[in-house]
Amino acid sequence: MNKEQINKLSGIILDCSIEVHRNLGPGLLESVYEICLCKELSIKGINYQRQVLLPVNYKGEKLDADFRIDILVENEIIIELKAVEIMNPVYEAQLLTYLKLANKNLGLLINFNVPRLVDGFKRIINGYF
């Protein structure tokens, strides 16, 4: 997938997120938003995986520890969902780490606990994407 296609897909994910937020509003659990966002992605015919295990490798050795990607879209975009009052900078660092470990270029950090979803939507780029 080229940069233009990934950016277009990112816009579709934003639209789907706005639709979920429009219907549910803020204040629910992250897991509810995850299920509903996946439903919207399905409606649009977009492939995704939920709760994808991301192994931790240290100095070439796989450790007995895994991270979990909330949603991986079209095997290209990592989505990290939040439903928090205050966005902590560590969430961006977490997503950037996932991008590096999974060798992906684009991540979306989406916080549903905001009055307007666009205020809770942030693109995180790994490298020179």
What pTM does this model have? 0.93
Which of 70, 69, 76 is closest to 55 using CA atoms? 69
Q: State the pLDDT at residue 63.
A: 85
Q: State the pLDDT at residue 121.
A: 95
Which tens digits make up the pLDDT trace of 61-101? 888 888 999 999 999 999 999 999 999 999 999 999 999 99
Q: How far is the C-alpha of 106 from the C-alpha of 58, rounded, in Å?
A: 23
Given a cut of 80, whether residue 57 has pLDDT beyond it is yes
- Residue 31, number of CB atoms within 10 A of its CB: 13
Domain that holds residue 9: 3-125
Q: State the pLDDT at residue 58.
A: 84
pLDDT band, residue 129 (cuts 50/70/90): low
Are the CB atoms for 49 and 68 separated by under 8 Å? Answer: no
- Residue 91, number of CB atoms within 10 A of its CB: 17
Q: State the pLDDT at residue 128.
A: 64
Domain count, the chain: 1
Average pLDDT of the chain to the nearest whole number: 94
For residue 70, the domain's CATH number is 3.40.1350
Q: Name the 3-class secondary structure at 22.
A: helix
